[in-house]
Amino acid sequence: MDSSLRETYNNELDKLDFLGGITGTAIVNRNGLTLISRLPRDVEERKFGALAATMYGAMENVAIALRTEIIHLTVEFDENQIIIMALNNDHLIVTLIESNFDLGLFLIEIEEIIKNSKKGVVA
């Protein structure tokens, strides 16, 4: 990934910093390579990215079979949730959030980032 795209993605992720309740965020390519990580130190970036891309890819196959599209994939744990969304055709945005986090404002911000990405502002 070139440095200007990396900088643009980082600027977009900065918009999420004010929300609170977000434990970490990563930009992952469709092959599972973590390109940008703002994950906690105890999270293994390589495994996190690979698993997120694998889960999302599997759900894309299900969506094709059902003739529908994925809006986002959410995995809930005791204390956290992972939300995976397609940023564009090449990249996913993966966010680790607290389980009691209010998703409303978060989804609005993420949808804005995705909209910018699809317009070519980010990608």
Beta strands (DSSP E) in 21-79 are 22-29, 34-38, 73-76
For 75, the 3-state DSSP assignment is: strand
Residues 6+ apart with CB under 8 A from 115: none
Give 3-state DSSP helix, strand, coil % of the chain, rounded to 5: 45, 25, 30
Contact 70, 83 (CB under 8 A): no
Q: What is the pLDDT of residue 32?
A: 95
Confidence (pLDDT) at 123: 46
Give the pLDDT of residue 84: 96
Torsion sign across C-alpha atoms 82, 83, 85, 91: negative
What is the total count of domains within the chain? 1
Task: Report the amino acid identity of residue 38.
Answer: R
CA-closest candidate to residue 82, choices 49, 111, 105: 49
User: pLDDT at position 121, please?
Assistant: 55
Domain containing 78 — which CATH number?
A: 3.30.450.30
Helix (H) or strand (E) holding 91: strand 91-98
pLDDT along the chain (123 residues), means of 10: 79 83 94 95 95 96 95 92 92 92 85 76 51
Range(s) of the domain holding residue 78: 3-119
- pLDDT for the residue 51: 96
The residue type at 76:
E
What predicted TM-score, i.e. pTM, was given to this entire model?
Answer: 0.88
